Amino acid sequence: MNRDRLNPTAGTVLLKALQRAAAFTLPLHLPAHGQGRGFPPALAALLTEPLGPLDLPELPSLGGPLLPHGAVAEAQRATAKLWGSRCCWFGVNGSTGLLQAALLGVLRPGQRLLCPRNLHRSVLHGAVLAGLEPIYYSLPFSQRWGLSQPVDVAWFQRVLAAVADQGCSMDLALLVNPTYQGLSAPLTPLVRLCHSQGLPVLVDEAHGSHFRAHGGLPRDALAAGADLVVHSTHKSLPGLTQTAVLHSCGARFSREDLEQGLLLLQTSSPSVLLLAATELAAAWPHQQPQAGCVLSRAMDRWCHWQQQLTRAGWRVSPSDDPLRLRLCTTAGGPDGLALDEHLLRFGIGGELPEVAGLTFYLGFQPPRQALGRLRDALAQLHWSAPNPPGVVERVQPAPTPLLARSAVPPRTAWFGPSRRLPLKEAVGHVVAEAVTPYPPGIPLLLPGERLDEERCTWLFHNRHLWQRLGGMLDTVKVLM
């Protein structure tokens, strides 16, 4: 029997789906290069060459991210010099792999990590792998815009005071900057505040790697004095998906310890093509005046889009990042999830739908017809009282404490014996999984935390907001 006749599409299912998606969708989402329009010329030229001969292993002349000799090591040294870091490493498992490697490299089991609730899930998984004890702090919340805000100095002073009140000693502070919606914290005073307490700082700057390229953008984490910084070269630089860079500054952490962490998680066969793309993307902010001009145009574009959409009756959230724009929804209209579904029918793909808004990633060079197509599609959406002024009434912040210690370490919760209980019966129990209403993806509970009455009540009262995505689970996994 000819097996090919049983499944004539075998081997091409994903390829055909990829081709259809690329042809149909107006991408107002990641990656930042926007279907290649924003690639640096050298990267665009590389990807037009026959790639077969360039798909090479770690030849002696090429080396790899953890080898001291070869072209990759030379490229990493050159990149660190450009950015002003002591050393850096390229990664092909995204910011995810490099954040986790940093935690495994510089912290030891039982040490404490101070981190915000809008942490990327890779940080939680890194804490599980490393046996860390995270201490979580909550973020300010804007009722007007229906989303969490970045911390300022006064807020972070309250966090550190709460840490002292609880008698905790921290070993590393994590800052996430900017937020997914493009809001930036005052990094320089925050880093100084941490250092004044003897606390080193790791900044997840996955969405802010481009800040260095323009003086009108917020100060980047390396310039602010952070000890460790992770850049995503596909989220905020014109690189390929899954590429990233880890920078180490100063002498707080040894190169050897960081490379031990990287050794645990990085593949032994990284794609040299991806590594070359990483170097090209990481150099882009320093290619002046070209990079600065690109971002100046992006800033002008953001203002133009904001004006045009405001005239059409929409509210646009403030943003410190010209690469992303967030439309606000209100109690009188559809939520961000319904808005996203509507736009997808017109071939327009947004980046992050939320109850109170929809974030678009404009990237470095969106298609010229993008704004017109978006306005036309929005005009086809009919509902009563479009965007009346005022606050987003239906979005209430989750009742998370300013500072929360886990009842048990995440590793214990992750691997411990567990069972599922109905939510209301689980009050008082330690959860063994993350309870994360998505979107927006900010954890309400993390493995090892105890479910309290307030958060259980909030979950029940807000379950209807996620019905379109299949609703929220009626049960939660708890430790036995």
pLDDT in tens, 37-88: 999 999 999 999 999 999 998 899 999 999 999 999 999 999 999 999 999 9
Specify the 3-state DSSP secondary structure of 175.
strand
- In this predicted structure, the answer to whether residue 439 has a pLDDT above a threshold of 70 is no
Would you state the torsion angle of the CA atoms of residues 246, 250, 252, 255, taken in this order, to the nearest 10 degrees?
50
pLDDT in tens, 187-206: 999 999 999 999 999 999 99
Describe the strand order of the beta sheet including 201-204 as a list of residue ranges.
Answer: 87-91, 244-248, 228-232, 201-204, 172-176, 112-116, 133-137, 403-405
Pairing of strands 228-232, 201-204: parallel
Q: What is the CATH number of domain 291-379?
A: 3.90.1150.150
Confidence of residue 392 (pLDDT cuts 50, 70, 90): very low
Res 337: pLDDT = 86
CATH 3.40.640.10 fits 46-286, yes or no: yes
In 312-376, which ranges are E strands?
Answer: 315-316, 324-328, 348-349, 352-354, 357-361
Half-sphere exposure (CA, 13 Å, Cβ side) for 444?
24
- In this predicted structure, the answer to whether residue 385 has a pLDDT above a threshold of 60 is no
Minimal CA–CA distance to 273: which of 246, 247, 245, 243?
243
Res 10: pLDDT = 73
Res 444: pLDDT = 87
Res 346: pLDDT = 93
Nearby residues of 8 by Cβ (< 8 Å), 6 or more positions away: none
- In this predicted structure, the answer to whether residue 111 has a pLDDT above a threshold of 80 is yes
Roughly what angle, to the nearest 10 degrees, separates helices 370-379 and 336-344?
110
What average pLDDT does this structure show over 6-27? 81
Q: What percent of the chain has pLDDT over 70?
A: 92
202 strand-pairing partners: 174, 228
- In this predicted structure, the answer to whether residue 247 has a pLDDT above a threshold of 50 is yes
Place of tokens 């990237």: 363
Contacts made by residues 364-370, CB under 8 angstroms, sequence distance 24+: 364/32, 364/33, 364/34, 364/37, 364/38, 364/238, 364/294, 364/298, 364/323, 365/34, 365/37, 365/38, 365/294, 366/28, 366/34, 366/37, 366/301, 367/26, 367/34, 367/37, 369/26, 370/26, 370/28
CATH fold of 406-479 reads Ornithine Decarboxylase; Chain A, domain 4 (3.90.100)
Res 138: pLDDT = 95
Question: Given this chain, do its domains 46-286 and 406-479 carry the same CATH topology?
Answer: no
Average pLDDT, the chain: 91
Res 331: pLDDT = 63
The answer to whether the beta carbons of residues 47 and 39 sit under 8 Å apart is: yes
What average pLDDT does this structure show over 275-285? 97
Q: Is the dihedral of CA 195, 200, 206, 212 positive or negative?
A: positive
The answer to whether the beta carbons of residues 130 and 109 sit under 8 Å apart is: yes
The answer to whether the beta carbons of residues 363 and 32 sit under 8 Å apart is: yes
Higher pLDDT, 143 or 6: 143
Tell me how crowded residue 207 is: count the other CB atoms within 10 A of its CB.
26
Each domain of the chain, given as residue ranges in start order, spans 46-286, 291-379, 406-479
Q: Name the maximum alpha-carbon separation found in the chain.
A: 73
- In this predicted structure, the answer to whether residue 106 has a pLDDT above a threshold of 50 is yes
404 strand-pairing partners: 136
pLDDT in tens, 399-437: 899 999 999 999 999 999 999 999 889 999 999 999 887
DSSP 65: T
